[in-house]
Chain A
Amino acid sequence: MPDFAPLYALLGCLPFDCLQLRFMQQALLALLLLAPLAAILGVHVVNCRMAFFSDAIGHSAFAGVALGLLTGFSPLWSMPLFGLAAGLAIMAVQQKARLAADTAIGIVFSAVVALGLVIVSRAGGANRDVQGFLYGDILTISQGEIGCLALLLILGIVFQFFAYNRLFLLAVNPVMARAHGIRGALWQYLFAGLLSLVVMFAVRGVGVLLVTALLIVPAATARNLAASAGSMFWWALLVGLVSAVVGLLLSAQPWLATSSGATIILTSCLCFALSCLWGSLRASRKML
Chain B
Amino acid sequence: MSSPEQRGDAIIFESVRLCRGGSCTLDNVSARVPRGSNTVLVGPNGAGKTSLLLCLLGELRHEGRIRLVPLTDGSSPRLALVPQQLALDPHTPLLVQEFLCLGTDRWPLWLGCRKNILSKASQALAQVGAAHLLKAHMGQLSGGELRRVLLAAALLRKPDILVLDEAEAGVDVRGEQLFWQTLDEARRTLGFTQLMVSHNLSLAAHYASHVICLNKRVQAEGPPRLCLGATQLLRLFGLPIHLYPEQCEQDVPECPECGAFSHTEELVHTGEESQTKEARNA
Chain A residues packing against B (C-beta within 8 Å) = 47, 160-162, 164-166, 168-169, 171-173, 175-180, 223-224, 226-234
Could you show 23 A-B contacts with beta carbons less than 8 Å apart? A160-B108, A164-B109, A165-B105, A165-B107, A166-B106, A168-B109, A172-B86, A172-B99, A173-B86, A175-B59, A175-B81, A176-B81, A178-B59, A179-B57, A179-B163, A180-B81, A223-B92, A228-B93, A230-B98, A230-B112, A231-B93, A232-B93, A233-B109
Scoring B54, B85, B98, B99 by chain A CB atoms within 10 A of each residue's CB, the highest score goes to: B98
**A175, B111: Cα distance in complex, Å:** 26
Specify which chain A residues have a CB less than 8 angstroms from the CB of B261 in the assembled complex: none
- Asked whether A229 lies within 8 Å of B81 as measured between CB atoms, the reply is no
- Asked whether B108 lies within 8 Å of A164 as measured between CB atoms, the reply is yes
Nearest neighbor of B79 in chain A, beta-carbon distance = A179
- Point out the residue from B91, B99, B109, B157 that lies within 8 Å of A223, measured CB to CB: B91
- Asked whether B81 lies within 8 Å of A164 as measured between CB atoms, the reply is no
Instruction: Name 20 extra pairs, CB < 8 A, besides A176-B103, A233-B110.
Output: A160-B108, A161-B108, A165-B101, A165-B108, A165-B109, A173-B83, A178-B58, A179-B80, A180-B80, A180-B103, A180-B157, A223-B91, A223-B92, A228-B93, A228-B98, A228-B109, A229-B94, A230-B98, A233-B108, A233-B109
The A interface is mostly helix, strand or loop, or mixed, namely helix
- Asked whether B93 lies within 8 Å of A223 as measured between CB atoms, the reply is yes
Nearest neighbor of B95 in chain A, beta-carbon distance = A228
- Asked whether B109 lies within 8 Å of A173 as measured between CB atoms, the reply is no
Specify which chain A residues have a CB less than 8 angstroms from the CB of B85 in the assembled complex: 173
CB distance from A230 to the nearest CB of B (A): 4
How many chain B residues touch the partner (CB < 8 A)? 33
Chain B residues packing against A (C-beta within 8 Å) = 54, 57-59, 79-81, 83, 85-88, 91-95, 98-99, 101-103, 105-113, 157, 163
- Asked whether A229 lies within 8 Å of B95 as measured between CB atoms, the reply is yes
- Asked whether B106 lies within 8 Å of A165 as measured between CB atoms, the reply is yes
- Point out the residue from B81, B94, B108 that lies within 8 Å of A228, measured CB to CB: B94
Specify which chain A residues have a CB less than 8 angstroms from the CB of B108 in the assembled complex: 160-162, 164-165, 233
